[in-house]
Amino acid sequence: MATRKAPRRTAQRILEASLDLFNRFGEPNVSTTLIAAELGISPGNLYYHYPAKDELVNRLYADYEQELTQLLQAAGSVQDVEDAWFFMHSLFELIWRYRFLYRDLNDLLSKNRHLETRLQQMLADKADAIRALVGGMGQSGQLAIDPREIDALAHSMVVVLTYWLNYEYARDPRSALEPEQAQGALMRGAYHALRLLAPYLEPGQRQHLLALSDVYAGTSGNAAGGDTGGTQPAAAKNSQQRRRSSPPSSSSPALAPT
C-alpha cells in the first residue's frame, strides 16, 4: 500500500504562498490578510507563525541568501566561457525565483532595516564572487585583464545582476515579470552580464561568446530585448548538461519560477 505524503507544515505553506503572491503582485501590494485568504486559513493562524509581514520577508530573504551563498562559492571554479554562462544563468534563475526582492528593492530598503544590512552584504558578496570568477578564468589563460580594472568590472556585472529585472519591468510593466517571460528575461540578463567580459577574453573564448551572442540576437534583435521564444542556445544547453553534476549550480530546477 502506498504511503501518504506528510502534509506540509502550515509555516512552510505560508512561506510558499507569500513568495508566490509577492512575485506576482509585488510585496507592497500583498497584505497578510490576502495571504491567509489564499491559503484558506484565518489571519490569526498566520499571525501565530509570522506576527508581522516583515518576518515573512526576512525569512524568505534568509532562504534566498542561503541558496545564493552556496552558489557564489562556486565562482572560483569557473574556468571558461561555458562555465561562466552556466554560473551566470544559475544566478539569474535564483534571482527570478525571488524576484520580488529585486522588483520592490527600493521600497523594501526604505522600511526594513534588517534587509537593508543584509542586502548591502549580498552586493559585496556578489562582487567578491565576480572577482573570483575573473581570477579563475585568468589563471586558466582564458582571460587577461589589468588588475586595476577588476573592481570596476565586478561592480558593473553586479549592477546588471541586481537591476536587470527592474529594466525588464520598466520596458514591459504589464507582463515582464510573469512566469511565461522567465526564459527570455534570464537569457537577456545572462547575455548582457557576460558581454562585459568580452573585451578581456582571449580570442578563442571571445569568438565563442560572440557565437552565443549571435544565437541570442538572431534576426529579431532578441539580445536587445526581444523574446527568445523559450529556446535555449544549444551551446548553453550542452554546457548545462555536462556540468549539472558539478558546481557552479543552484539548488533550484532550471527555469522553474514559482
Chain segment 206-227, per-residue pLDDT in tens: 999 888 777 665 433 444 344 4
- Number of structural domains found in the chain: 2
Instruction: Tell which wins on pLDDT, 105 or 62.
Output: 62
Q: Are residues 107 and 138 in the same domain?
A: yes
Instruction: Confirm whether 59 is domain-assigned.
Output: no
Residue 228 pLDDT more than 60? Answer: no
Span 15-26, average pLDDT:
94
Instruction: Confirm whether 101 is domain-assigned.
Output: yes
Q: Are residues 125 and 29 in the same domain?
A: no
Q: Are residues 47 and 89 in the same domain?
A: no
What pLDDT is attached to residue 106?
Answer: 85
How much is the mean pLDDT over the chain?
Answer: 82
CA-angle at 245, arms to 242 and 247, nearest 5°: 95
What pLDDT is attached to residue 181?
Answer: 81
Q: Which of 152, 155, 150 is nearest to 135 (CA)?
A: 150
Q: Are residues 115 and 235 in the same domain?
A: yes
Q: Are residues 120 and 18 in the same domain?
A: no
Instruction: Confirm whether 253 is domain-assigned.
Output: no
Q: Are residues 199 and 94 in the same domain?
A: yes
Q: Are residues 222 and 138 in the same domain?
A: yes
Give the 3-state secondary structure of residue 256. Answer: coil
What pLDDT is attached to residue 246?
Answer: 44
Residue type at 241? Answer: Q
Query: In this structure, are residues 209 and 81 in contact, taking their beta carbons and an 8 Å threshold?
Result: yes
CA–CA separation, 31 vs 226, rounded Å? 34
Owning domain of residue 185: 68-243
Instruction: Confirm whether 249 is domain-assigned.
Output: no
Q: What pLDDT digit, counting tens, does each position of 113-145 carry? A: 888 889 999 999 999 999 999 999 999 999 999
- Residue 248: cis peptide before it, omega within 30 degrees of 0: yes
Q: Are residues 220 and 146 in the same domain?
A: yes
CATH number at residue 199: 1.10.357.10
Q: What pLDDT digit, counting tens, does each position of 156-205 carry? A: 999 999 999 889 888 888 887 788 888 788 888 888 999 999 999 999 99
Q: Are residues 128 and 186 in the same domain?
A: yes
DSSP string, 42-94: -HHHHHHH-SSHHHHHHHHHHHHHHHHHHHHTTGGG--SHHHHHHHHHHHHHH
Instruction: Confirm whether 248 is domain-assigned.
Output: no
Q: Are residues 226 and 103 in the same domain?
A: yes
CATH number at residue 24: 1.10.10.60
